[in-house]
A and B are shown apart, each in its own frame.
Chain A
Amino acid sequence: MSGAVEFVKGSARLVVSGGRAYKAWVAALLALVAIGGIAYVHQVRTGLIATNMRDQVSWAFYIGNFTFLVGVAAAAVLLVIPAYVYQWKPIKEVVVLGELLAISALTMCLLFILVDMGRPDRFLHIMPLLGTPNWPRSLLAWDALVLNTYLLLNAALVLYLLFKTYRGEHYDRRIFLPLVLLSIPVSISTHTVTAFLYNGMAARPYWNASILAPRFIASAFCSGPAVMIILFQILRRTNRFPIKDEAIWKIAELMSYAMFLNLFLLGAELFKEYYSATEHLRYTQYFWGGLDGHRALVPYAWLSLTCSVAAFVLFLIPRTRRNYVTLNLGCLLIWAGVYIEKGMGLIIPGFTPDTLGEIYEYTPTATEWAIAAGVFGVGFLVFTALVKIAVPILVGTFRAPERVAAPGPSSAGIPAQ
């Protein structure tokens, strides 16, 4: 396996070298990680009291970010389906980049769970074999299982494919294809299980709606591909990465359908809550209109709705979908809309008012913001490094030394197949 050593060395070289913009980007991310690290040390020293989470609102900003990112991770891989159906040219590249995004998003998910725990040193108790997971009863034990399976599956797939391509060998379809096909149901199940984690809690009526899992999937299909669209454009500019405009526009079109579904499901839920107006309405009211003068989340609720509707319109109209300015604006809007809706907008009203009827208005502390920034820093750093290694392999500029010397290497720009 001397090839493996060469591969690691070459990869490391790729990660540390780059232009000005790349170095600045990495430096910025490292700064975020440092800020997050310092804040986390503070949190570990003082305990969860360093956050604004209390017994009334015991899951908050961290878990909101976690939920949003599970969606990103799930949807990244789902892009395989349209890529296959519409026969986009670089399908292998779409798969690999989707999986890299999934790996980074999952890294962030696991970190967000870890920083939310009161005793992160005991997380091994949840792991299969190592600990004593309460499986199959506990949805959290399920979630840990599917998230880690999904992470391992993606990592194995990407590593296999990239290493083979790097060596200039053909990948074995009998290994590759079943794994890709397996990753699709696993990606859907990660998101469904996460939805069920909230959905199954009868104690929290705000989450106890059967529409939750479908809503999760619909909104995930908005936020995940938004990252991919932006990434594809960057790669097209910096590398000779052959993705066609049509593919990008198609993704945007699919996102507008997903957003429509998401908004429709939201409307269905709002109708049910407001028309039947049971005592369970209070949570929805807290989010959309405030409750007894507590209105901390109200501006965000409407901001989220505005962003989502605007993005839907931008992606629906062919002219704005095809214009790269409005397209990228739409990506940002959709990201913001879903981030609020699936993050704080999902978690906080679930706990406000609490089961005893008390209202504790939660807003994150500076420590929580800093730690979240640090986690995003780690995630984007992982993503940047992975993309930096993967793209040269995919476009054929990073090859095993013996292959480069060999006659007739694949010409750059066209993936070696």
Chain B
Amino acid sequence: MRKRYAMAVDTARCVGCSACVIACKTENALPSGGFRDWIAEETRGAFPALSMEIRSERCNQCSRPSCVSACPTGASHVADGGVVGVTRAKCTGCKACVASCPYGARYVHPEGFVDKCTFCLHRVREGKLPACVETCPTRALTFGDLADPASRVAELTRSRRVKVLQPGSGNEPNVFFLT
């Protein structure tokens, strides 16, 4: 069975502490101004009847990634478990992928190439969890293989109410938000 790595983000647990953002920055030695994940806060209603949704967002590792289609050199590619990676040595910095991503998941590295979340594939290959998942103090993030029905991520997306961002994008994202 082919692996399909996915993430479930529990918006009811997330408190927006940004620990995931910091963990990613350290783990992947991101340059100043570059982020592979970020916190989105959406408020609804008017004071005092307010509610807020907090989401830890990142690349959705889409099953139909428009960025991979757009890339003229094949630098953006689909790697293990459906994770979308960028081969730095082949990236021309043309930014076609940035324009084609519906989720704003990519940024231009100061050295000219484009960078994005990899689900910490270098860790996953060693049997570890992505840095953000490991760090999250409220355990709002769950990483796993969606193709395995017994995995925690598969179970969560089955049993809880789930949404994806911009479901109409045609990209079939693999980051699921539990509401």
Report which A residues bind B (CB closer than 8 A): 47-49, 55-56, 58-59, 113, 116-120, 122-123, 125-126, 131-134, 137-141, 144, 197, 201-204, 350-351, 354-356
Contact = CB atoms under 8 A, between A and B. Distances in A.
B93 A201 contact: no
B94 A116 contact: yes
Interface of B: 40, 66, 68-75, 89-96, 98-104, 106-114, 169-170
A118 B70 contact: no
Contact of A118 (B40, B93, B101, B103): B93
**Prevailing SS type, chain B contact patch:** loop
A123 B75 CA distance: 12
Given A55-B108, A202-B102, A203-B169, A118 B95 contact: yes
A197 B71 CA distance: 11
26 contacts: A47-B110, A48-B93, A56-B104, A58-B95, A116-B95, A118-B91, A118-B95, A118-B111, A119-B92, A119-B111, A122-B90, A125-B92, A126-B73, A132-B74, A134-B69, A134-B72, A134-B73, A138-B96, A140-B70, A140-B94, A141-B72, A197-B96, A201-B100, A202-B102, A355-B103, A356-B104
Contacts of B73: 122, 125-126, 131-134, 141
A199 to B, nearest CB: 12
B108 to A, nearest CB: 6
Contact of B72 (A48, A138, A203): A138
Given A118-B113, A119-B93, A202 B71 contact: no
A47 B92 CA distance: 13
A140 B98 CA distance: 13
B92 A123 contact: yes
Contact of A204 (B90, B94, B95, B99): B99
Contacts of B68: 137
**Interface-centre pick from A48, A351, A354 (highest chain B CB count, 10 A):** A48
A55 to B, nearest CB: 5
Contacts of A134: 69, 71-74
A197 B95 CA distance: 12
Contacts of A354: 104
Given A117-B94, A119-B113, A140-B96, A201 B108 contact: no
Given A48-B108, A354-B104, A356-B104, A55 B98 contact: yes
A140 B112 contact: no
Contacts of B104: 55-56, 354-356
A126 B94 CA distance: 10
Given A125-B92, A131-B73, A356-B40, A59 B108 contact: no
A181 B148 CA distance: 58
**Interface-centre pick from B66, B68, B108 (highest chain A CB count, 10 A):** B108
**Prevailing SS type, chain A contact patch:** loop
Contact of B92 (A117, A137, A351): A117
Contacts of B66: 201-203
A203 B75 contact: no
Contact of A140 (B72, B102, B111, B114): B72
B75 A125 contact: yes
Contact of A203 (B40, B71, B92, B99): B99
Contact of B69 (A58, A126, A138): A138
A138 B70 contact: yes
A49 B99 contact: no
A326 B137 CA distance: 71
Contacts of A201: 66, 70, 99-100
A355 B101 contact: yes
Contacts of A118: 91-95, 108-109, 111-114
Contacts of A126: 72-73, 92, 94
A355 B66 CA distance: 14
Contacts of B98: 55, 58
B101 A203 contact: yes
B100 A203 contact: yes
A98 to B, nearest CB: 29
Nearest to B103: A355
B118 to A, nearest CB: 18
Nearest to B109: A118
A125 B69 CA distance: 16
A49 B108 CA distance: 10
A126 B75 CA distance: 10
A119 B110 contact: no
Contact of A355 (B74, B90, B102): B102
A123 to B, nearest CB: 6
A56 B170 CA distance: 21
Contacts of A197: 96
B113 A139 contact: no
Contacts of B112: 47-48, 117-119
**Interface-centre pick from B72, B98, B113, B169 (highest chain A CB count, 10 A):** B72
